[in-house]
Amino acid sequence: ISLDLGDPSAGRLDGKMREKTLTMDTLNPQVKAVEYAVRGPIVLKAGEIERYLEEGGTKPFSEVIKANIGDAHAMGQQPITFLRQVVALCTFPELMDSPSFPEDAKWRARRILQGCGGHSLGSYSASPGVECIRKDIAAYIEQRDEGVPSDWENIYLTTGASDGIMTILRLLVSGKDSSRTGVMIPIPQYPLYSAAISEMDAVQVNYYLDEDNCWALDINELHRAYQAAKQHCQPRVICIINPGNPTGQVQSKKCIEEVLHFAYEENLFVMSDEVYQDNVYAPDCQFHSFKKVLYEMGPEYFSSVELVSFHSTSKGYTGECGFRGGYMEVINMDPEVKAQLVKLLSVRLCPPLAGQAAMDVIVNPPQPEEHTFKQFHQEKSSVLGALAEKAKLTEQILNAVPGIKCNPVQGAMYAFPRIFIPPKAVEEAKALGMQPDMLYCLRLLEETGICVVPGSGFGQKDRTYHFRMTILPSIEKLNVLLGKVRDFHISFLKEYSGLE
Amino acid sequence: ISLDLGDPSAGRLDGKMREKTLTMDTLNPQVKAVEYAVRGPIVLKAGEIERYLEEGGTKPFSEVIKANIGDAHAMGQQPITFLRQVVALCTFPELMDSPSFPEDAKWRARRILQGCGGHSLGSYSASPGVECIRKDIAAYIEQRDEGVPSDWENIYLTTGASDGIMTILRLLVSGKDSSRTGVMIPIPQYPLYSAAISEMDAVQVNYYLDEDNCWALDINELHRAYQAAKQHCQPRVICIINPGNPTGQVQSKKCIEEVLHFAYEENLFVMSDEVYQDNVYAPDCQFHSFKKVLYEMGPEYFSSVELVSFHSTSKGYTGECGFRGGYMEVINMDPEVKAQLVKLLSVRLCPPLAGQAAMDVIVNPPQPEEHTFKQFHQEKSSVLGALAEKAKLTEQILNAVPGIKCNPVQGAMYAFPRIFIPPKAVEEAKALGMQPDMLYCLRLLEETGICVVPGSGFGQKDRTYHFRMTILPSIEKLNVLLGKVRDFHISFLKEYSGLE
């Protein structure tokens, strides 16, 4: 074979042009159908603007503020010292001899390492995770749920919650099924759900949250959506996000009972995304786990409804997104199916060990009698206190803007305000082949440097428009951000109402 | 709703028994079809025996030796100090002030953290990975390939190599396609491939490696397999594992040229699993990257063949499986498809940051002028030297056993010896509904405590039998292991040849 075959534009040796194997025409169409707005076109645009500014370009603003994604550390939140100490000790056990690391962290790290092959974070764990971490998680759940039993063999560590959600859906969804699998999801939703449904070729069954009632889940709407879906698919799964993403509501116990009763009656598999369980700010709200409510509904329910609950290191007060830690608790799954789940997990070997260790600290934090408790507690309270303050601030400032209406941010990390977009702007967006709130968010980004995600990326009722913003920037930056949103919105209204 | 609904065995309130939603009948059949022998039934059995021994049970052996999986640290290999120092510094940046950490590690950690949002390992990275790590990887590839250009924007960090392989296959395979996608894989293969093909409902197209020629890839066999497959599917991808898993062969440059020419002619997408690129032991063998060989074939090839190469933190001399680090380099992918790849990656947000940091150390290790070089180099040489010794030892001892034939372990971490199984044992296995080498491996486990994986889990020619064992145990333990295999094999032959 010759080493110089000439100009590639001259085509193949035999004169034919060689075509690519993988093109937009041959790409798996289910991949093409996937959408994920949280890192979509608006975020790519934000990156472009950032590079432009770095290279000395000028804009009416000096920095891009990324309020598009729940990435707490990127917004300046400091890690919880104790968590990082434990993970560092696990990573570099020579630090066990260092007097600057507390004993409370050392015994946790030692215990985790004893559960690892060769006592090393560099070994694979069993596919469901390190055994002692699974046990700590079960103990944590029992305590959280005031004694409702939790079996550690029902706990599976995951690579962030997203990985767990995808895995469970993979069990439930068969793309080839002629009566295709319906997956009920809230609208607005976190777009991981719609993306997974597209990728797996399931049928997305929307149930709409009630914006006029603080984004509460309405049981009548669940019935409506289910009955409508049954005309064209087999609804088999209901997904719940509580506290809500992007909507920030916290479900009442009564609402959860209704959902579980509905799932019981209609034989639905319940997937409960509870990654924001530690993020509740409204004084009149409280997190109720689906599992505890199921238990309290009695043994007939607790022994039969198939329920998976997801948690994560990425949210709460730790915000450790980069560790990709998480777990799921699987209740009432058929034992044979569970063996299949373990098999499926084993193909990817195991979740990252540092993420498993981080998860362990979250479920097994310093106790009041430990020396590290005071600092840990201060750091935790400081993060959660600031989030509560920012939740309130965001709601207040947005609601003072004409043409913006924002439900209270009861929990999670986002505001999802409704925005009035004048008919002329809606027309202009349509002419551009764009959702009206995409036009709005692009203009907001280009004029102010603020990056938020259009409501159309999460789903919303027809002819309503929203955006999702995180409440993660510091109070100072959040004030600046909200002020800019207000000014932008007022001038946007003026421009498109012909009032200029 | 009453809190006590009585005995669950009494059935539903309305008298009907509530059925489970997710059962073996309703489970996604593609999940059911997945097999993954490396963590399959034999490993579950090994776990049972371990627990039995821990609880005081007695066996003819005192411990289970797990030679089933390439998990170096679990087998006692020590981590590379420098790598762990960098990751610990990234995890707990307060250590930057510690005099016991070398400056060489500190500047690397600082540089990585500067590439992270909020300078924290707890933030999400961009979905393809941290930019400076992608750049380090590209620089490493250029150096490895003696100047062949590498563009950092073609580098994507992954959650171990498995994740990258699954992602690329996901782009290529559409389960609904009527002319289904054929994926060519070597036999024997690493069962991630067959598992992924089952899960995605692609068509597995086997090409057999030549056991009589040290498991070399034979180009005529590739043609045969391709032509046969074309009768019933559309072969679009060829997967290569070099150095081989489970077969340990290292491909010659000529062989790689032939594969690439074949892929060029037949418009195949090439997936080159090169995770064992640092694991070459045979003095007459050398690792040649598919990319470098493609480059040397001239611009007509280098500008057109679509090639993805995979690497990992889990193998080589680091063996950092638990970090789930890895990368892929994507060559000649259609730019629009690349945008789709980034979109698909973004749904899972990003690979774990600690794994990305570990990958960075592997591609950017201490240089001769740095203080840390000496220790780093000693540790690296010690691991690779021991592996080379164990590769040789394994081949020699196995080949001295009558009825076992083992090709040289030129590279990777496994021996895949062929074992003679007497017809009476084959019959007995069939009567038990079991592969003959599964019977063999189960007996080996139960009688000696040695856990290896049957060849049938990797694929093999009809009526040939093998097992895969890692060469990772310490020399002492490996000697014990091989001695036990020898004794077991001899007595197994005796038993089933009626010579007892």
Q: Residue B271: give its domain's CATH number.
A: 3.40.640.10
Residue B383 lies in a domain: yes
DSSP state of B428: H
Residues B272 and B214 in one domain: yes
Half-sphere exposure for A105 (CA within 13 Å, toward CB): 26
Residue B28's pLDDT is 86
User: Taking 60 as the threshold, does the pLDDT of residue A126 lie above it?
Assistant: yes
**Rounded CA separation A344/A351 (Å):** 13
B71, B74, B346 member nearest A36 (Cβ)? B346
Chain B: closest CA distance from residue A174 (Å): 5
Residues A72 and A180 in one domain: no
Six token digits for residue A247:
């909507």
**Percent of residues, chain B, with pLDDT higher than 70:** 95
Residue A179's pLDDT is 62
Query: Could you tell me the CA-to-CA distances from A15 to A4, A9, A22, B390 in Å, in that order?
Result: 16, 11, 21, 51
Residue A30: band (very low, low, confident or very high) from pLDDT cuts 50, 70, 90: confident
Residues A144 and A38 in one domain: no
A120, A160, A298 member nearest B349 (Cβ)? A160
- CB neighbour list of residue B215: distance below 8 Å, 6 or more residues apart: B188, B209, B244, B247, B248, B249, B407, B416
- Start-to-end CA distance of chain B, whole Å, equals 71
Residue B114 lies in a domain: no
From A322, A341, A363, the end of a domain falls on A363
From A363, A390, A409, the end of a domain falls on A363
Asked if A293 and A262 touch (Cβ cutoff 8 Å), the reply is: no
Residues A381 and A357 in one domain: no
User: Taking 50 as the threshold, does the pLDDT of residue A154 lie above it?
Assistant: yes
Bond from prior residue into A79 cis (ω within 30 degrees of 0): no
Residue A16's pLDDT is 57
Residue B480 lies in a domain: yes
Among candidate residues B394, B325, B316, the one with its CA nearest the CA of residue B67: B394
Residues A344 and A463 in one domain: no
Residue A21's pLDDT is 86
pLDDT beneath 70, residues of chain B? 1-17, 175-179, 498-500
Residue B339 lies in a domain: yes
**Rounded CA separation B168/B327 (Å):** 12
> Dmax over Cα atoms in chain B, in whole Å?
79
Residues B311 and B381 in one domain: no
The complex's ipTM works out to 0.91
- Residue B290 vs residue A499, higher pLDDT: B290
Element holding B234 (H helix, E strand): strand B234-241
**Rounded CA separation B68/B43 (Å):** 8
User: Taking 70 as the threshold, does the pLDDT of residue A5 lie above it?
Assistant: no
**Rounded CA separation A343/A5 (Å):** 48
A163, A343, A355 member nearest B348 (Cβ)? A163
Number of domains in chain A: 2
Three-class DSSP category at B156:
strand
Residue B178's pLDDT is 55
Residue A309 lies in a domain: yes
Residues of B in contact with A324 (CB under 8 A): 159, 324, 349-353
Residue A359 lies in a domain: yes
A5, A36, A199 member nearest B298 (Cβ)? A5
**Rounded CA separation B323/B362 (Å):** 13
- Integer Rg of chain A from CA: 25
Residue B2's pLDDT is 40
Residue A10's pLDDT is 41
- Ordered DSSP codes for A16-40: SPPPPSS-TTTS-HHHHH---GGGS
- Ordered DSSP codes for B130-150: -HHHHHHHHHHHHHHTTT---
Instruction: Say if strands B404-405 and B307-312 run parallel, antiparallel, or are unpaired.
Output: unpaired
From A319, A335, A363, the end of a domain falls on A363
Q: What is the dihedral of CA B162, B257, B135, B245, to 10 degrees?
A: 30
Q: Token pair 């997937």 is at which residue?
A: A271
Residue type, A147: G
CB contact (8 A) between residue B71 and residue A117: yes
Six token digits for residue A350:
């195991």
Residue type, B459: G
Residues of A in contact with B261 (CB under 8 A): 1
Among candidate residues B152, B135, B145, the one with its CA nearest the CA of residue B360: B135
Residues A229 and A256 in one domain: yes
* Mean of all residue pLDDT scores within chain B: 92
Residue A11, phi-psi category: left (phi > 0), alpha (psi -120 to 50), beta (remainder): left
**Rounded CA separation B158/B125 (Å):** 12
CB contact (8 A) between residue B34 and residue A336: no
Among candidate residues A416, A411, A455, the one with its CA nearest the CA of residue A435: A455
Residues A53 and A131 in one domain: no
Instruction: Identify the domain containing residue A395 by its residue range.
Output: 30-76+376-496
Residue type, A473: P
Residues B217 and B348 in one domain: yes
Asked if A133 and A356 touch (Cβ cutoff 8 Å), the reply is: yes
- Start-to-end CA distance of chain A, whole Å, equals 71
pLDDT, tens digit (0-9, with 9 covering 90-100), for A266-314? 999 999 999 999 999 999 999 999 999 999 999 999 999 999 999 999 9
Residue A177's pLDDT is 66
Residue A7's pLDDT is 46
Residue A86 lies in a domain: no
CB contact (8 A) between residue B347 and residue A319: no
Residue A23: band (very low, low, confident or very high) from pLDDT cuts 50, 70, 90: confident
Q: Where are the alpha helices (DSSP H) in B55-146?
A: 81-91, 103-114, 131-144
Residue A131 lies in a domain: yes
Residues B396 and B320 in one domain: no
Residue B402's pLDDT is 93
Residues B176 and B63 in one domain: no
Residues of A in contact with B22 (CB under 8 A): 171-172, 236, 269, 306, 333-334, 337
Question: At A86, phi and psi to the nearest 5?
Answer: -65, -45
Residues B382 and B359 in one domain: no
**Rounded CA separation A305/A270 (Å):** 8
Residue A90: band (very low, low, confident or very high) from pLDDT cuts 50, 70, 90: very high
**Rounded CA separation B318/B303 (Å):** 33
DSSP state of B79: P
CB contact (8 A) between residue A27 and residue B340: yes
Distance from chain centroid for Cα B132: 26
pLDDT, tens digit (0-9, with 9 covering 90-100), for A427-451? 999 999 999 999 999 999 999 999 9
Angle between helices A436-448 and A475-496 (to 10 degrees): 120
> Dmax over Cα atoms in chain A, in whole Å?
79
Residue type, B350: C
Asked if B32 and B24 touch (Cβ cutoff 8 Å), the reply is: yes
CB contact (8 A) between residue B28 and residue A354: no
Instruction: Say if strands B203-208 and B181-187 run parallel, antiparallel, or are unpaired.
Output: parallel
Which residues does residue B418 pair with via DSSP β-bridges, in sequence order?
B405, B466
Residue type, B119: H
Residues of A in contact with B64 (CB under 8 A): none
Q: Where are the alpha helices (DSSP H) in B297-352?
A: 299-302, 335-347
The CATH number that applies at residue B438 is: 3.90.1150.10
Which residues does residue A467 pair with via DSSP β-bridges, in sequence order?
A454
Among candidate residues A64, A410, A48, A473, the one with its CA nearest the CA of residue A246: A410
